Chains A and B, each alone.
Chain A
Amino acid sequence: MSAKQSPAQTLEKFMQRTAIGTFLLAVSYTIGTAEYLVSEDLAETLNILQKPLGLLVILLVAPAVWSMARIGAFKARPGCDEPESFVKEMLARASTLSFSITFVALLALQVLSGKFYTDQPPAFFIGIALMVSLYVFSISFFVLSRDTEEDDDFGDDDLGEGAA
């Protein structure tokens, strides 16, 4: 990577860090939800484990937000000159998938909440729904946007070969 990032690279890094932050939040919600199911002592330990995750998310995402602000991406006329990108499209796909699966999860929880864990508070089931949503979003983003291609420098494999 060059010393100076292009606006497109900054935007891509922002999206990747957002997805990593989302995954960490999902882990945090998993711990938070598990606290309802374990003994009080273990719940306290889990609570201690949960707190640094929030701080880690802030430390991870804040520099990326700052970089975005520096290139003017939050202004009315953004300095980022990437009209669209592969990663941005994959982020949109992951969001759509996450929304759909969260909807199904909410329907399932509505049915299951009357049959299982009936003594649990609504926060427990909301935690599960959020956990599913965040895991699906972050994991599907990583899977969809993975890049297996290495830069082939001058594309001198075969001049006669059309791509795709």
Chain B
Amino acid sequence: MTSLDNRIRVYRAEHRMSQADLAEKIGVTRKTISTIEVGRFVPSTVIALKIAKYFGAPVEDIFQLQDDDTPTVDDS
């Protein structure tokens, strides 16, 4: 089953930020950040892009699909 892993916790640690700090910066609540981090809540594209933009990182560096066998256009 495909799941969405993320490295928000790592990025927060690098920038010495709490969940509440990050939540405030991107306009969500701490609970939303907390549940994204542990995989209970899959964020919208908007939230994912906001987080990536805030950390100045490509979104795929922060969010990765695990066990995903979706073919690419090159495979077909």
Bound-state Cα–Cα, A87 to B44, Å: 13
Residues in B neighbouring A160, C-beta threshold 8 A: 10
Interface size on B, residues (CB 8 A): 36
Does the CB pair B17–A155 fall under 8 Å? yes
- A85-B32 in contact given A152-B18, A154-B18, A164-B39 (Cβ < 8 Å): yes
Inter-subunit contact A159/B14 (CB<8 Å): yes
**A residues near B, CB below 8 A?**
6-9, 12, 81-87, 89, 145, 147, 149, 151-157, 159-164
Q: Which residues of A contact B17 (CB under 8 A)?
A: 154-155
Choice from B13, B27, B34, B36 contacting A82 with Cβ under 8 Å? B27
Interface 0/1 of B10-51, CB less than 8 Å to A: 101110111110011001111110111111110110110000
| Minimum distance in angstroms from B69 CB to a CB of chain A | 19
Nearest CB in chain A to that of B5: its residue: A164
| Partner among B9, B24, B30, B43 whose Cβ is within 8 Å of the Cβ of A163 | B9
